[in-house]
Amino acid sequence: MKRCLILIAVSLIPWISYAGEGTHDMKNVVIYKEAGRFGGWPANHGIWIWDNEILVGFSRGWYKNLGKSHHIDREKPEEHLLARSLDGGETWAIEDPSANGYLIPEGSSLHGVKPDWLQIKEWTDCLGRD
């Protein structure tokens, strides 16, 4: 038993020393915050990094207190937006790709309803579609 505990302790040394590396360079920044709105699910939409450029997809909806559930009003429109940083995450700009007909939320990917103003364009340039 003593030998097993020593083995566990020795095996944790690399993890403990690794966990402390690089943490001094980290800081938290707010990418999106708007009163009365919900923003979330960046892991569902994707995160991409190229050198100092970072692109994060997320959902924006209207805030509604739903207790233990996600606080998005499912009876109001939800949008899929992008946040882009060109300086390694120091500053961010929010982009709405639906204005150009891209990333339009519909069907099961939607937690709310489709915005009335949003026109879904027919796919004409997607390889593999008839």
Tens digits of residue pLDDT in 12-58:
445 444 555 555 678 899 999 999 999 998 888 889 999 999 999 99
Tokens read off for 125: 């340039």
Q: Are 101 and 83 in contact (CB under 8 A)?
A: no
Residue 33 CA to residue 44 CA, distance in Å, equals 18
pLDDT at 60: 93
Task: Report the predicted TM-score, pTM, of the whole model to 2 decimal places.
Answer: 0.63
Q: Coil, strand, or helix at residue 11? A: helix
Compute the average pLDDT of residues 77-93. Answer: 93
